[in-house]
Amino acid sequence: MNDKVLIHHGSGGLLMRNLIHDIFLRYFDNGILKSMTDSAILVGKSGHFAFTTDSYVVDPLFFPGGNIGKLAVCGTVNDLAVSGAVPLYLSVSFIIEEGFSISDLEMIVRSMADEARMAGVKIVTGDTKVVQKGKADKLFVNTSGIGFIEKRYTGLSHGKGTKPGDLVMINGTIGDHGIAILNARESFNFSSGLSSDCTSLNKFIQTILRNTGEVRFMRDATRGGLAAVLCEFAEKSGLGIEINENSIPVKEEVRGICELLGFEPLHLANEGKVVIIAGNQSGSKILDVMKKQKAGKNSSIIGRMVTDHPKKVKLITSSGGSRWIDLPSGEQLPRIC
Amino acid sequence: MNDKVLIHHGSGGLLMRNLIHDIFLRYFDNGILKSMTDSAILVGKSGHFAFTTDSYVVDPLFFPGGNIGKLAVCGTVNDLAVSGAVPLYLSVSFIIEEGFSISDLEMIVRSMADEARMAGVKIVTGDTKVVQKGKADKLFVNTSGIGFIEKRYTGLSHGKGTKPGDLVMINGTIGDHGIAILNARESFNFSSGLSSDCTSLNKFIQTILRNTGEVRFMRDATRGGLAAVLCEFAEKSGLGIEINENSIPVKEEVRGICELLGFEPLHLANEGKVVIIAGNQSGSKILDVMKKQKAGKNSSIIGRMVTDHPKKVKLITSSGGSRWIDLPSGEQLPRIC
């Protein structure tokens, strides 16, 4: 093991998984944390609830499609939503560098309030710390959240019941957020049309759950991208996953920038994309419900669960070849979330 | 209003209160947040629960009596406990500067696990971000927490029922944490015996609640110290508060260092001190229950609620004079929590 924390420890890939296993799970030893779901699923007196936390350290704070505040609300709302929960309450905690602009803070706070209103959640408790100039990168935000889960959805985080032949679906183009952040930070000015997909998916997801059946598993594809979600789910389910490059929605600009800079769209972070594993019989119905909503108009069935290569993810390339997809093992992208 | 965030905006005093009112409450506009209690009190299907968040940015990370991890667990446990809740679940989120020592991280995580075990809470969900060298001050921790509250305790956060003649009590010496941090950071080496009072108070508080009556209000005296708690409660209750300098427990070393450096013990942060407002009739019983526990062996009745000077806090000095105590309005102490 390394003796220093590396930037890769935070990228959602293999190093991060090792850190979690070697340090956090070793000491914070309980079954709930060990299940490694997006939200902890807790049992209250009259039902189940979900609890989750995320800190946001994005640079730049403002980017096409959002800012750190909107991101923090969407991210925590989505972590609850993919657990099958209806998000209800958020906490917000700021760490602010001395000298930060009050009007920028106000803009961030306003967009958090707007996004919370749209998602139907309340920001009910908060905290503010100010650190000396140079001791933080402008502003960090933590949002934690609570949602209630109907009992019938409590298995969703675990993907129990997933079978060979089940479909792998996604609600639109991948990598938009990653490239938008990179473009904004590095001032590449590759394209003025690119913006983050940052959005709250709770209503989108609840509409799917309430109007279809056979949804086995959901996870939002954030850090580590689509690749991380698929690799982790293959590992967890014990099945293989086969995906078709041709079916994965990627914007032309995103694909172009990736080729130019040597990035892999599958590794890029998203902030409004959910991977859904669903029964084969219900696939077209689910796709239909997804496509009818704004957050899902470019939805696609991108692959399926297979028995051939347990715990491994295979990509059928557009040229008809195939290659294995691994958990990102280094820093495939500069820090973006 | 200032156009930049100042270090004083985070010190728990007047500037911070203004920031909360002018920005956060203005946009995050809901009744729960507006009640400005330590924890949000939420109504679930079968009872009430409390939800709170805090980010920790202490420098140095390790200090006599604890470290940032222990502090983060105690702080959130205490915020729930003073609301009358039984703390149950914590989230933990780290923001780590690239290059941070893994063994230091392990020490911090281990003491969080130990403190959580002692307090009887589970760390059920988490998050880790790594930022580039120079973009954070070594390590920041956010802990959010959930606890359940019996209905009969839900009024505690608001202090409803507080009457003139009610007693003001505290469970021991003030300022230990503030001076311990200052001493560790600045290497004054004033005294080797000083250590932070950092401790989880949930069992202490529950013992008081279950064995006595007439507890009207509780709050832990952290940033802004005893002064901030008293000033805010005077404001909130509409009554005056009179406290006696002679009755306020302050360690000799703390008093000495304060005199030397020009600090006011009432403004110093604590991490294991709770202010209790209680009915006059029950005062001796409560004091008795407090003193029998380790966390309260130096408990003291330090003053009472009065009608004379509504919303103002008066200190009767040891020399027999008196002076007003105000919400700390500048940076009376370097950042310590």
10-residue stretch averages of pLDDT, chain B, 337 residues long: 86 86 90 85 85 96 97 98 97 97 96 97 95 96 96 91 97 96 82 88 98 96 94 96 98 91 92 98 97 98 98 96 88 55
The pLDDT of residue B278 is 98
Segment among A212-221, A263-272, A323-332, B239-248 with least mean pLDDT: A323-332
B-contacting residues in A 166-185 (Cβ below 8 Å)? none
Q: With contacts defined as CB-CB under 8 Å, which chain A residues touch B111? A: none
- Tell me if B99 and A40 make a contact (CB, 8 A cut-off): no
Give CATH 3.30.1330.10 domain extents, chain B. 35-153
Backbone angles phi, psi at A311, to 5 degrees: 65, 10
Inform me whether the pLDDT recorded for A230 exceeds 90: yes
The pLDDT of residue B297 is 97
| Pairing label, strands A40-44, A47-56 | antiparallel
Q: With contacts defined as CB-CB under 8 Å, which chain B residues touch A95? A: 55, 57, 95, 140
Residue B28 is encoded by which pair of tokens?
Answer: 């995050």
Band (pLDDT 50/70/90 cuts) for residue A141 is very high
Give CATH 3.90.650.10 domain extents, chain B. 167-325
Band (pLDDT 50/70/90 cuts) for residue A119 is very high
The pLDDT of residue A331 is 59
Q: Does B293 touch chain A (CB under 8 A)?
A: no
The pLDDT of residue A262 is 87
The pLDDT of residue A191 is 65
The pLDDT of residue A336 is 57
The pLDDT of residue B36 is 81
Inform me whether the pLDDT recorded for A335 exceeds 70: no
Segment among A36-45, A73-82, A275-284, A318-327 with least mean pLDDT: A36-45
Q: With contacts defined as CB-CB under 8 Å, which chain A residues touch B128? A: 9-10, 16, 19-20, 24
Q: Which among A72, A138, A283 is positioned nearest to B131, based on CA atoms?
A: A138
The pLDDT of residue B185 is 87
Q: With contacts defined as CB-CB under 8 Å, which chain B residues touch A39? A: 125
Q: Closest to B46 (Cβ–Cβ): which among A5, A45, A56?
A: A45
For the segment A303-309, the average pLDDT, to the nearest whole number, is 97
A-contacting residues in B 29-68 (Cβ below 8 Å)? 29-30, 32-33, 39-40, 42, 44-47, 49, 51-57, 59
Q: With contacts defined as CB-CB under 8 Å, which chain A residues touch B48? A: none
Sole residue written with tokens 């679930």? B44
- Tell me if A98 and B51 make a contact (CB, 8 A cut-off): no
Distance (Å, whole) CA B305 – CA B126? 42
3-class SS of residue A75: helix
Name the residue with higher pLDDT: B331 or A59: A59
Total-model pTM: 0.95
Band (pLDDT 50/70/90 cuts) for residue A330 is low
Closest chain B residue to the Cα of A45, Cα to Cα: B46
Number of residues that this document lists for chain B:
337
User: Are B87 and B202 in contact, with CB atoms under 8 Å apart?
Assistant: yes
The pLDDT of residue B335 is 54
Question: CATH assignment of B167-325?
Answer: 3.90.650.10
- Tell me if B47 and A45 make a contact (CB, 8 A cut-off): yes
| Topology of the domain covering B35-153 | 60s Ribosomal Protein L30; Chain: A; (3.30.1330)
Cα Dmax for chain A: 58
Q: How crowded is residue A252: how many other Cβ atoms within 10 Å of its Cβ?
A: 10
Inform me whether the pLDDT recorded for A1 exceeds 80: no
Mutate: best of B1, B3, B4, B5, partner A, most A CBs <10 A: B5
3-class SS of residue A210: helix
Segment among A40-44, A194-198, A280-284, B269-273 with least mean pLDDT: A40-44
The pLDDT of residue A8 is 86
DSSP state of B42: E
Let me know how many helices (H) and strands (E) chain B has, helices first.
10, 14
Q: Which helix (H) or strand (E) holds B184?
A: helix B176-186
Segment among A13-17, A99-103, A245-249, B63-67 with least mean pLDDT: A13-17
Mutate: best of B129, B137, B138, partner A, most A CBs <10 A: B129
Q: Which among B188, B182, B184, B187 is positioned nearest to B331, based on CA atoms?
A: B182
